[in-house]
Amino acid sequence: MAAVGSGGSTAAAAPGAVSAGALEPGTASVAHRRLKYISLAVLVVQNASLILSIRYARTLPGDRFFATTAVVMAEVLKGLTCLLLLFAQKRGNVKHLALFLHEAVLVRYVDTLKLAVPSLIYTLQNNLQYVAISNLPAATFQVTYQLKILTTALFSVLMLNRSLSRLQWASLLLLFTGVAIVQAQQAGGGGPRPLDQNPGAGLVAVVASCLSSGFAGVYFEKILKGSSGSVWLRNLQLGLFGTALGLVGLWWAEGTAVARRGFFFGYTPAVWGVVLNQAFGGLLVAVVVKYADNILKGFATSLSILLSTVASIRLFGFHVDPLFALGAGLVIGAVYLYSLPRGAAKATASASASGPCTHQQPPGQPPPPKLSSHHGDLSTEPFLPKLLTKVKGS
């Protein structure tokens, strides 16, 4: 198994394996295109399935499970999975793994402690998502949750002094308008809803979740610039803090009820599906996201909204009226516009003006290396756990 590093690189191929550099250009291009399509499918399915599965599990008749226990279990499973993957990277050598963890977690305790703040916020965000999805239709939540793009952009400007293009500012305004229209439709009573649901509480929870997601993502990027660490080490450290903080939140919010009824009260196969999706879905996205550029991720978000809406109609009897369709359409368009790379239009215009084949590669010479579009932006690195969503939660 190839080991994925913090920069998205993989370890050397096993003996007998064919490296990417040994492939013919056409074969490499086909393989890369196939990986992009696989990445798109994974991102779409994970984004939509987590929300739909939470909504389904929270609206089932019968005993309702404690959301705080599900958050803790997801962190435990994520941490154990990362520990096993690190164990595999050390080729099953327990001594080497122990020395590595001692150095990375205890000796470099300052770097470890830096992850406490984003872990606290992510734990809060995961709990808020349960509150929001329990009180809002899955499609409405999926559309409204795209406000995290707005909050992330604003925190990036404030904390990282990042500048946005005019198109990005316009797309953020379009995004806000679309979400406002969807919420206006929801407030106007867009279809019947169960008596135990409170759309106002759901809206407050999803907005708070978007704020926490935006701040945590930018803070994570800020503190980890220049630091080293693999995707699995970072998620293990987050899992350690997440488990501890999740237990504190469980004790504070539902401690008495959990002590009386049990930690796994109300757990069904559907609930375990939610826990596994939340634990492993984010890790899976962290691996495949390196094959997806910004446009592909924006396209995946748009498809996730459409998939959630269609599934909500079939599963939950969700009613799509003109207001929701308008708002969702604006959000989908805004996500696509925001994901366009800066200067793409200028580059296209320059290419058109210069005409075809303005520069030809001399025969026998290798093509120049392609420059990465990441420019060292850690928000695109695979060890960041809330890339789309998270998704933990994406």
Q: What is the pLDDT of residue 224?
A: 67
Specify whether 132 is located in the same domain as 52: yes
Least confident of 34-48, 86-100, 103-117, 352-366: 352-366
Could you tell me if 270 and 301 lie in one domain?
no
Q: Residues 281-308: pLDDT tens digits?
A: 777 776 776 666 666 777 788 888 888 8
Quick check: is 151 in a domain? Answer: yes
Residue 259 is predicted with a pLDDT of 93
Say yes or no: 278 and 308 in one domain. Answer: no
Dihedral of alpha carbons 43, 48, 53, 58, sign: positive
Identify the H or E element spanning 138: helix 138-144
Shared domain check, 180 and 165: yes
Q: What is the C-alpha to C-alpha distance for residues 56 and 51, in angstroms, rounded to an integer?
A: 9
What share of the chain in percent tops pLDDT 70?
73
What range defines the domain where residue 89 resides?
48-136+234-291
> In the predicted model, what is the mean pLDDT of residues 174-189?
84
DSSP state of 363: T
Phi-psi region of 92 (alpha: psi -120 to 50; beta: other; left: phi over 0): left
Backbone angles phi, psi at 223, to 5 degrees: -80, -20
Q: How many domains does the chain have?
A: 2
Q: What's the half-sphere exposure (Cβ side, CA atoms, 13 Å) at 342?
A: 10
Q: What does DSSP assign to residue 104?
A: I
Tell whether 120 and 248 lie within a shared domain: yes
Instruction: List the structure tokens of 119.
Output: 């872990």
Q: Are residues 260 and 302 in the same domain?
A: no
d(CA 335, CA 146): 8
A 10 A CB-CB count for 256 gives 9
**Signed CA dihedral, 242, 375, 148, 391: sign only:** negative
Confirm whether 83 is domain-assigned: yes
Task: Express each pLDDT in 81-118 by its tens digit.
Answer: 999 999 998 888 899 999 999 988 888 888 888 888 88
Residue 167 CB burial class (10 angstroms; 0-12, 13-18, ≥19):
middle
Cα separation, 254 vs 289, whole angstroms: 35
Q: 103 or 353: which carries more pLDDT confidence?
A: 103
> What does the block give as tokens for 103?
């150095």
Same domain? For 62 and 121 the reply is: yes
How far does CA 264 lie from the centroid of its chain?
26
Burial class (CB in 10 A: 0-12, 13-18, 19+), 25: exposed
In three-state secondary structure terms, 111 is: helix
Q: Residue 374 domain-assigned?
A: no
Q: Which residue has the higher pLDDT, 46 or 344?
A: 46
Query: Which of 345, 338, 8, 382 lies closest to 173, judged by CA?
Result: 338
Q: Are residues 58 and 129 in the same domain?
A: yes
The SS3 call for residue 4 is: strand
Interior CA angle at 120 toward 119 and 123, to 5°? 85
Q: Is the pLDDT of residue 225 over 60?
A: yes
Report yes or no on 144 lying in a domain: yes
Q: Can you read off the two tokens belonging to residue 377?
A: 């932006």
Q: Note whether 132 and 143 are same-domain residues.
A: no
Distance of CA 100 to the CA centre of its chain: 28
Q: Answer yes or no: do 251 and 316 share one domain.
A: no
- Nearest in space to 233 (alpha carbons), one of 112, 96, 120: 112
Residue type, 163: S
Say how far apart CA 294 and CA 383 lie, in whole Å.
Answer: 16
Indicate the residue among 273, 291, 309 that finishes a domain. 291
Residues 139-155: tens digit of each pLDDT: 899 899 989 889 988 99
Residues 338 and 171 sit within 8 Å (Cβ to Cβ)? yes
Give CA–CA dist 124/114, Å, rounded: 17
Contacts of residue 295, defined as CB under 8 A and 6 or more positions apart, other chains included, come to 336, 339, 340, 341
How high is the pLDDT of residue 299? 76
On whether both 306 and 336 belong to a single domain, the answer is: yes
Is residue 378 in a domain? no
Q: Is residue 333 part of a domain?
A: yes
**162 shares its domain with 179:** yes
- Tell me the one-letter amino acid at 29: S
